[in-house]
Structure 1
Amino acid sequence: MESELTSFTEKLKATSSNLNNMSATVENPTVPLVQSNGQPNYTSTEDDMEKGAAAKKKGRKKWSKFKQTRFENVGEMLAQRKELFRKRRNVSDVAFVTGLVGIILMIIHTELIVADNDYTNTSAAAIVLKVFITLSTIDLIGMVIWFHLIDLKLYMIDNGMQDWLLAISPQSAFQISLELIICAIHPIPGDIAFQWLSYDFQNESQVTVQVPLDVVLSIPMFLRLYLLCRVMLLHSKLFADARSQSLGALNKTKFTFYFIFKSLMYLHPVYVMVVLITSIFLIGSWALRVCEVDHAVLHESYWNSLWLVAITFLSVGYGDIVPHTYCGRAISVSVGMLGAGCTALVVAVLAQKLELSRAEKYVHNFVIDVELDKKLKNSAARILGYGWRIYRARKNGENEGIIRGYQRKLLKAIDNIRKTKQEQRKMVDSQVTVLEVYKNQSFISDAVENIITKQDDIEGAVETMKNQVGHIGRKLDELCRVMANRKERRDTKRSDAAGGQGHQADYLTGGDE
């Protein structure tokens, strides 16, 4: 028996030591939760090591840390996630600056082609500018790929994935490919031209013009400005704040650029609209000028193209300047559609700015209510006054024309008082908005909750009173029993005493005899 007890004790100690070792391996309390000194410690299992060794033997790619997303504790995972967030923001900033530099170089090259006859695509300066544009494009493509690699790592960490192939869906692959194609478009070195068909409105004939390929490759470079949306998203306080992220996750709200744009429109509507409309004017007029400069003399001036974009944006269309190419027509249609959208936004912003606030509504309704109350009292006083005049006129036997005049004024006063009451009812209905309904609902809910709480308290007090009354009843019952016992004892003693005196009397009587 003692040997069995000793073996069981040893097994229990071994089990407890194994559990302590396991807990120390999973979570080390000495390691801080968030800080990891910028170097997370990755852990790997034996199966992963065997897979890596097998992959090396078969000549596959080298087993890298990219697939090792296991961490020793939660703190190291958070530290790595924070570091990746910082890198992603920096890479996005560099990509935007690189794309903007490429656009600026492209604009300089195009303006030199239009303005200077000595500056051609075969000149040394043009070749140097195009080489710099190409280098900036290659750098931009590399930054975009790096950005998506970091984004992929973050997605793997957030979802606990071990294989990066699981994190790439067909939709995300298509979006990345489309983004790389947009960033890759730029004027290439060389002098390549093609035939461009346009329409001459003066001679009513079609004209074929030799146009450089740079025109087609330059305008799509403005699509790189989508990187500005990404920069705004990553630098937004709503996106960078952990509290906002937690609140959004609880309310199932995703922090996208659309959400950030709506918040900016709510906070700074005038600033956003001015920047948006100005950007559309400048970019649209420049692109229209590039498309039309080889076909119409009017478009050699930037101000004429700006005038055409302005009247198209505002849906006026005077017709004094028109596009001659399909490229210019496409840009005009796009600007017109953007103008309709911006007009709707301007109307919404003006409606929001001109709307009275809640306090202003209360003040306005109070003043109107006072005025209507005065008007109602005046109308009631007129009714009484004209009624008295009609009575006095009939009593004094005055002319019927005077009496009818008083009657007309009386009817008019009655009609005014009806209209005033109707206006008061309309004002009361207009005061009841969704906010007031919500406040009344909240007030009623609080009142009902207070009533329920008081009812529970009353029920508890009644239950306590019942218990106390029951306790008092039991005490009274006990008191009654005690008093009954005492009375019974007293009666017994009296009967015993009476019986003893009777025996004594009998005894004395018997002795005398």
Structure 2
Amino acid sequence: MAAVRAGAVGLSKQARFTMYSSTRPGSDWDSRDSGTGERARQSRPSVYGKRYGVAMSNAETVRKRWKIRRRLSDLKVKLCDATLILAVGGLILAMLDVEFTATRILESFVNTSDLSFILRTAAIITTIALLFFLLFYHFIDIKIQLVETGTSNWRVGITSERVLNTLLEVAICAICPIPETGVVAWPILSNIAERTRERVNIPISVLLTLPMFLRFFIVCRYMVLHSSQHQDTATRTIASLNHIAVDFRFVLKSEMYERPLFVLSIASLMFWCVVSWMLTQCERYAYPSISGFQHFADYLWFEIITFFSIGYGDVQVNTYCGRGLAMLTAIVGTLFSSTLIALISRKLILTTCEKRVNHIIAENNITNEHKNAAACVLQNTWRTVLRARDYQKSSSRRNQQRLAKMQRMLLCSVITFRKTRWKLRMQMEDEDDFFTARRAFNETEDRLQKVRQRQSQLDGKISMLFENVEALTQAVMSRKCYLRQ
């Protein structure tokens, strides 16, 4: 079934396989036969095995289903592209409206009211089109599932989970600024007691624009449908056979494994820009007397230092919305920082071949040092013996000092020899599994070579002994014949 879904089967004139649908013959869901009763049962294809599914041995039917699924899949990708364009377009219109609204309220520009009405109307139109394409996308997705399962009953494709996900997506995409909306009182949080009682009026259109960034879930869907894992037939077939869904989680983990720094950098930049703009909208109305509002660059700086848990305190937030976004930034920054540290640590770890090279070089150096230490012990021992003979011949003070000096040098060389032997032992214990197995294999091969050599020598000796016994037997037999004669 997975190979048929992915289109990886060969469709020749003769049927080389038997595909079973997920419906059972005789049930109400099987509506492929127009007749009912005995005639309908006779017109059904033959059923094999334990009567699970309907055998489809006709290659033309399989080819037809594959073409239908391919056409629906292409339409699904186009609908995803259209929903992404409409979602981003509506978000850009809402952002422009928010900027013009702030300019009109804070700087007393009245000429932007008509432009704001036009922008909101355009955002509503794009939202309606987005909802239509979104519902049509889910409708096509259900039809693809029906084609894959080999049934035409819509109850198979519509489940409670799918309905909840669709309603949630529609609710998220339906949020947009509405013309002629009022304002809401926004409390100010400050260390000054007089300012904590103040309230500022914020347009409702600004508050409705902030949740519109949740439309970025369509970007995740776009990444999945345009990823190499989803477009490659072999990858989808192998994933389906291994019970792995090619979804956003699988695609993201694959990209993180292949290009971790690139994915983290793009995600961090997008997060900084989006949250900085949202912080600007949350905090700009809390400073009506300070030249209108603080700039976007100030909150971008605040986002970066909060993201990496630095927090200089030069930029502060004075609203509940700003503090909520600051907490979100701290949580996401902690996750990203830990992931970045883990990725850097993985990049810094030596590979098996690199470890083997360093291990061989270190072992050779320690082995040479151990040999030099052993040679120094022998040299100092011989010199100590010579100085002891000189001291026995002439027990002068000079010979005594030479003997003591050689004894000290001998003691130092023995200590050095023991240290190098301990280092060599520790180096042998630090071998990796592959290198240890390789060394054991080589040692076993050398021992087997010696055993084979001894075996060949033994075979030669046995052959010589057999020849001598044969010669002796012939000599004895000839001697017996001579004695008889």
Q: TM-score, normalised by structure 1?
A: 0.69
Q: 2:433 matched to which residue of 1?
A: 432
| Match among 205, 226, 230 for residue 214 of structure 1 | 205
**What amino acid is the match of 1:222?**
F
Report the secondary structure of 2:430's partner residue. helix
Q: 2:354 matched to which residue of 1?
A: 360
**What amino acid is the match of 2:433?**
V
Report the secondary structure of 1:194's partner residue. strand
Deviations 1:261-305 (A, max 9, x none): 111112222221211111111111111111011113495211111
Determine if the alignment matches structure 1 residue 141 to structure 2 residue 141: no
Determine if the alignment matches structure 1 residue 196 to structure 2 residue 190: no
Q: In structure 2, what is the Cα distance between the partners aligned to 1:242 and 1:432?
A: 38
Determine if the alignment matches structure 1 residue 107 to structure 2 residue 107: no
Identity percentage of aligned residues:
26
| Match among 91, 94, 115 for residue 82 of structure 2 | 94
Q: 1:271 matched to which residue of 2?
A: 262
Q: 2:315 matched to which residue of 1?
A: 321
CA distance 1:30–1:390, shift in 2 (3 Å): closer
Q: In structure 1, what is the Cα distance between the partners aligned to 2:182 and 2:283?
A: 18
Structure 2: segments with no counterpart, 5+ residues: 1-10, 18-30, 38-57, 392-398, 442-485
Q: In structure 2, what is the Cα distance between the partners aligned to 1:211 and 1:404?
A: 92
Give the drift of 1:139. 0.9
Give the drift of 1:165. 2.2
Q: In structure 2, what is the Cα distance between the partners aligned to 1:102 and 1:426?
A: 65
Q: 1:348 matched to which residue of 2?
A: 342
Determine if the alignment matches structure 1 residue 180 to structure 2 residue 170: yes
Deviations 1:215-255 (A, max 9, x none): 22111111111111111100112111111111112222221
Deviations 1:183-242 (A, max 9, x none): 111111113111111213345641211111122211111111111111110011211111
Give the drift of 1:342. 0.9
Report the secondary structure of 1:84's partner residue. helix
Q: Is the 8 A contact 2:185 2:200 kept in 1?
A: yes
CA distance 1:192–1:47, shift in 2 (3 Å): farther
Give the drift of 1:310. 1.2
Structure 1: segments with no counterpart, 5+ residues: 1-26, 34-41, 49-69, 444-513
Report the secondary structure of 2:152's partner residue. coil
* More divergent stretch after superposition (277-286 vs 356-365): 356-365
Determine if the alignment matches structure 1 residue 129 to structure 2 residue 139: no
**What amino acid is the match of 2:386?**
R
Question: Within 5 Å, which residues of 2 pair with 1:462-501?
Answer: none
Give the drift of 1:118. 5.0
CA distance 1:253–1:186, shift in 2 (3 Å): same
Report the secondary structure of 2:199's partner residue. strand
Q: 1:248 matched to which residue of 2?
A: 239
Q: Is the 8 A contact 1:122 1:191 kept in 2?
A: no
Q: In structure 1, what is the Cα distance between the partners aligned to 2:385 and 2:166?
A: 92
Report the secondary structure of 1:294's partner residue. helix
Report the secondary structure of 1:93's partner residue. helix
Q: Is the 8 A contact 2:101 2:112 kept in 1?
A: no
CA distance 1:276–1:121, shift in 2 (3 Å): farther
Determine if the alignment matches structure 1 residue 422 to structure 2 residue 425: yes
CA distance 1:28–1:379, shift in 2 (3 Å): closer
Q: 1:330 matched to which residue of 2?
A: 324
Q: In structure 2, what is the Cα distance between the partners aligned to 1:237 and 1:111?
A: 39
Report the secondary structure of 2:189's partner residue. strand
Higher RCO (CA < 8 A, seq sep 6+)? 2
CA distance 1:412–1:179, shift in 2 (3 Å): same
Q: In structure 2, what is the Cα distance between the partners aligned to 1:359 and 1:30?
A: 52
Q: 1:472 matched to which residue of 2?
A: none
**What amino acid is the match of 1:235?**
H
| Match among 32, 35, 46 for residue 46 of structure 1 | 35
Deviations 1:293-332 (A, max 9, x none): 1113495211111111111101011222221111101100
Q: In structure 1, what is the Cα distance between the partners aligned to 2:279 and 2:79?
A: 33
| More helix per residue | 1
Paired residues in the alignment total 386
Q: In structure 2, what is the Cα distance between the partners aligned to 1:131 and 1:71?
A: 52
Q: In structure 1, what is the Cα distance between the partners aligned to 2:161 and 2:151?
A: 18
Higher-Rg member (1/2): 1
Determine if the alignment matches structure 1 residue 79 to structure 2 residue 57: no
Give the drift of 1:113. 2.1
Q: 2:389 matched to which residue of 1?
A: 395
Q: In structure 2, what is the Cα distance between the partners aligned to 1:416 and 1:436?
A: 23
Q: Is the 8 A contact 2:188 2:200 kept in 1?
A: yes
Q: In structure 2, what is the Cα distance between the partners aligned to 1:293 and 1:109?
A: 15
Q: Is the 8 A contact 2:370 2:417 kept in 1?
A: no
CA distance 1:246–1:85, shift in 2 (3 Å): same
Determine if the alignment matches structure 1 residue 413 to structure 2 residue 402: no
Deviations 1:108-137 (A, max 9, x none): 111222234355698211110000001111
Q: Is the 8 A contact 1:155 1:167 kept in 2?
A: yes
Q: Is the 8 A contact 1:121 1:191 kept in 2?
A: no
Report the secondary structure of 2:337's partner residue. helix
Q: In structure 2, what is the Cα distance between the partners aligned to 1:121 and 1:415?
A: 91
Q: 1:230 matched to which residue of 2?
A: 221
Q: 2:280 matched to which residue of 1?
A: 289
Give the drift of 1:423. 3.5
Q: Is the 8 A contact 1:185 1:217 kept in 2?
A: yes
* More divergent stretch after superposition (223-232 vs 112-121): 112-121
Q: In structure 2, what is the Cα distance between the partners aligned to 1:199 and 1:181?
A: 31
Q: Is the 8 A contact 1:209 1:295 kept in 2?
A: yes
CA distance 1:72–1:46, shift in 2 (3 Å): farther
Q: In structure 2, what is the Cα distance between the partners aligned to 1:157 and 1:177?
A: 24
Q: In structure 1, what is the Cα distance between the partners aligned to 2:240 and 2:96?
A: 46
CA distance 1:157–1:301, shift in 2 (3 Å): same
Cα root mean square deviation, aligned: 3.2
Give the drift of 1:401. 3.3
Report the secondary structure of 2:185's partner residue. strand
Q: Which 4+ runs in 1 deviate beyond 6 A?
A: none
**What amino acid is the match of 1:276?**
A
